Amino acid sequence: MQPAKPESAAADDRFFARTGPHPLAAVAAAAGGVAGHKTGADRPLLLHGVAPLQSAGPAHVSFLDNRRYVDALTATRAGAVIVHPDLASRVPSGTVAIETADPYAGWARVAELFHPPPPIRPGVHRSAVLAEDAICDASAEIGPLAVIGAGAVVGPRCRIGAGAVIGDAVSMGTDCRVGPLASISHAILGDRVYVYPGARIGQDGFGFATTPQGFVTVPQLGRVLLENDVEVGANSTIDRGSATDTVIGAGSRLDNLVQIGHNVRLGRCCVVVAQAGISGSTVLEDFVVIAAQAGLTGHLRIGRKARIGAQAGVMADVGAGLDVIGSPAQPSREFFRGVVALRKLARPQRRAGSEATGGEPTGEGSS
């Protein structure tokens, strides 16, 4: 008799597909780790789902990546825990340690083992509108009320969500996902690009000339290039280039509510967090991280592996590997030294002569 399906698993079956149970060996292989032995186990361990350390039971697999939660590890009832080898000794005797050098990546793969993405349902919904010369691979899924423009190409196993608009001549590679109500124009997408709901890609950049009579709009004649494995968060916006292209480099991740101006170029595996904005023609080299609500002015170069702190205002180039914060942005050590100095200046000063009177205040009104 199989154990009852665990009620405290991390994913609600109403929203997430579930596979399993999976034997310990399969879970360890998915995590890229090596499983130890469970004390007192008299039969192969079957795992039914994933759960946090605090709520996991004997049928769950959990993980620890942050040493701050070691106490939760030592108290867990999980059947197995994915951990770094350095922490394997802290796993309770009734729990299997799955040792791997990168527990968080291992956890991601195991979570996908139990809860794979929903499968593509090939076909075109009867309410979708496709231009006569649009090309949609037979394996693609086109959702209700989606619009596919003239000359657009939707590649194999792509999914276009309900109400999404794919503009004329837009080209998409394989295994792309476009969320509901997103719109894409003047763009070329690589493989495995994920555009979340409500994102806007390829609209006019913010370009105009100022004359005595008012503003003259400058035609925006570039494109947006989203390279392989890019993700664009919900309600984010990426303007097309004015004369050159706006480029989001392979593997880069944009959070929700991010603004990318025209002609911006991101290198490989950049991260831009929520509500950050990058002005036109700024270049991010590979592996740059922009934290939440940071703002970058135009025509800057941000060096490889630089990190921009939350709410920073960046008005000058940032060298490779530097951490900057504040507005105007400055190296983090200088910023925090300034904070300390200001706090010292802001402390209340003792009145002159207070030490001479044993700390009692002096002057009129004192007894």
The catalytic site residues sit at 262
Are the C-beta atoms of 247 and 188 separated by less than 8 Å? no
How far is C-alpha 345 from the geometric centre of its chain's CA atoms?
A: 40
Cross-strand partners of 23: 46
By C-alpha distance, which of 82, 84, 73 is closest to 111?
82
Three-class SS of residue 29?
A: helix
Q: Which two tokens stand for residue 238?
A: 């990426």
Distance separating alpha carbons of residues 151 and 164, to the nearest angstrom: 16
Distance separating alpha carbons of residues 221 and 39, to the nearest angstrom: 66
Are the C-beta atoms of 271 and 252 separated by less than 8 Å? yes
By C-alpha distance, which of 241, 273, 279, 270 is closest to 258?
273
Crossing angle of helices 103-114 and 24-31, in 10° steps, is 130
For residue 306, count other CB atoms closer than 10 A to its CB. Answer: 22
Q: Which two tokens stand for residue 276?
A: 């950050």
Are the C-beta atoms of 327 and 306 separated by less than 8 Å? no
Three-class SS of residue 66?
A: coil
